[in-house]
Amino acid sequence: MALYICFIMSPAVAFAQKQPSGKNIFVADPFILEDKGVYYLYGTSSKDGIVVWRSTDLVSWDGPCGATNGLALHKKDSWGERHFWAPEVYKINDKYVMTYSVEMHIALAESSSPLGPFVQAEKKPLLKEKGIDSHIFIDADGTPYLYWVRFQGGNVIHTARMSRDLKSVDMRTVRRCITARQDTWERSDTQPRANVAEGPFVIKRGQKYYLSYSCNNYKSPDYAVGWAVADKPGGPWLRGKDNPMLLRHDGYTGTGHHAFLQTSSGKLYIVYHAHDSEKNISPRRTLIAECHWDPPPGFASVLPGSFELIKK
C-alpha cells in the first residue's frame, strides 16, 4: 500500500504564536512522525547525529529524548563522522526506518523504537555518489521510490526506484525531477544566490503525484517552497501556477525545507524552518502552519499563521 504519512492530532491543540526567545526549538530540516498518539520531531541540529523531541500536542516538546545521549541516531552507529542532516523516519511494519544525509551521502538506519537507537546494519552509504535531502515514497502497488538531491552544477532533485526492502536503489531508473529555473522565484536576485532545488517531499492525492521542494540558497531570505504535479512518480513534473506556496511566511525569512503532516481528520499541516532573524540565519527556528487542499489539479495553500515549536 502507499506510504501515506498520517498523524492523529488532538482536538485540544492550541498554538501559541511567536513564543519568547529561549523557549523555542531550533531544529532545521524538520520532520514529524506520529506513532501511538505521540509525535516525534527529527531534524538537523547536532554534530554527533540526529536529534529527536517528543510531544503530545505538536506545540510543547520534551527532549532531546533519543536513546543515545538524547539522539535518535548517534554517529557511533552510522557511517560517517559529521554533517548529519535532513532526517525522515517512517514506520514500516514493525520497524522504524530513518533516511538521512551524512558527509553529503544518503544513508539508511533502522530501529525498533522511534526514539532509537537507529543503527546501520552495514555502516555504509546507500549510494556511492554524493547526495543529500533524501525522501522515500511508497506507491499504492508497494513500489518504493527514493527522491534526493544530486550535485550537477547545483542542487538538482532526482528520483529512482528502490528495492522492496529499501536496501538498494536501481540507478538505471534515475529520473531528473526539478532543476532551479532562471528568472523565476527559484533563482531569486536576492543575495546570496545559488542554483538550488532541494528538500523534496511527495504526496499522492487521487491519481496525481505532488512534489514539493525548496529553492534558493538556504542563507537567502527568499529561501522558499514550491510544488509540481505529475501523473507518475518519476514525472514529468508540471510546476504549480501559484508558486511559491511558502515565501517569507508571516514575516519570517528563509522559510523552507519542509515536511507535511496529514491528520486522520483530513487536515494538512506544513512543518518547516526559518532564519533566526532578519540578521541571523542560525539557529534556525522550527515552525508549523495549517494548509488547505486546493481543487485538483492544484495542490495546497498555506494559511496565515505560523507557530513556533517550544520546549515544555
For 71-88, write each residue's pLDDT tens digit: 999 999 999 999 999 999
- Taking the C-alpha atoms of residue 213 and residue 197, their distance in angstroms, rounded to an integer, is 7
Going edge to edge, which strands form the sheet with 268-274?
A: 6-7, 256-263, 268-274, 285-293, 300-308
pLDDT, tens only, 166-193 = 999 999 999 999 999 999 999 999 999 9
- Taking the C-alpha atoms of residue 29 and residue 14, their distance in angstroms, rounded to an integer, is 23
- Taking the C-alpha atoms of residue 230 and residue 211, their distance in angstroms, rounded to an integer, is 8
pLDDT at res. 3: 46
**Average pLDDT of span 135-150:** 98
The label of the residue with cell 552510522 reads: 78
Cell of residue 147, nine digits: 527522491
- Taking the C-alpha atoms of residue 238 and residue 8, their distance in angstroms, rounded to an integer, is 31
**Which residue in 3, 64, 8 sits closest to 34, CA to CA?**
8
The whole-chain average pLDDT of the chain stands at 92
Going from the N-terminus, what domains does the chain have, and what CATH number goes with each? 6-311 (2.115.10.20)
Q: Are 64 and 52 in contact (CB under 8 A)?
A: yes
Q: Is 299 helix (H, G, I), strand (E, B) or coil?
A: coil
- Taking the C-alpha atoms of residue 52 and residue 55, their distance in angstroms, rounded to an integer, is 10
- Taking the C-alpha atoms of residue 154 and residue 268, their distance in angstroms, rounded to an integer, is 31
